[in-house]
Amino acid sequence: MTIDIVADASAILALVFMETGRDHVAIALPGAAISAVNLAEVMSKMLDKGLSPEQVRSQLNDLALIVVDFDQDLALRTALLRKATRHKGLSLGDRACLALAIREKLPVMTADTAWSDLDLPVEVVLIR
């Protein structure tokens, strides 16, 4: 399957929880990739909201996301983004998402407006 865009946890959560911007995310599926780190974020939030592990698996399987393993290369790329993003307070998960998008030379979809003016070689697509 061809990957067209990288999804941040915030984008997937907007879709799952029927939040503003979910339509933009739905249009990008299938063909959206997500880092395993960001998938863990999504799953954690879903469990926090009271969904069972089976419901989490079922709902996420329905989205047909392409899950990309967080390997040593992505770990280093994520670490290298710390200095460039520290002033915006980006989390490890944020940087993992951005690192994947930069590596794959793909746009990244997020609800996090702090990403909009980062000086990084990646197109940021805001869902709201």
Residue recorded with tokens 């690192």: 99
Which of the four pLDDT bands, split at 50, 70 and 90, describes residue 2?
A: confident
Residue 85 has a pLDDT of 96
pTM above threshold 0.75: yes
**C-alpha torsion sign, points 111, 116, 118, 124:** positive
Cite the beta strand spans of 2-128 per DSSP E: 5-7, 32-35, 66-68, 108-110, 124-126
Look at residue 31 in the predicted model and tell me its pLDDT. Answer: 87
List residues bridging with 34 in a β-sheet.
Answer: 67
Which residues are within 8 A (CB) of 84 and not within 5 positions of it... i.e. 6 or more apart?
118, 119, 120
Domain boundaries, the chain: 5-126
Q: Give the tens place of pLDDT for each residue, 11-54.
A: 999 999 999 999 999 999 988 999 999 999 999 999 999 999 99
Q: In one letter, which amino acid is 72?
A: Q
User: In CATH terms, is domain 5-126 a member of 3.20.20.70?
Assistant: no
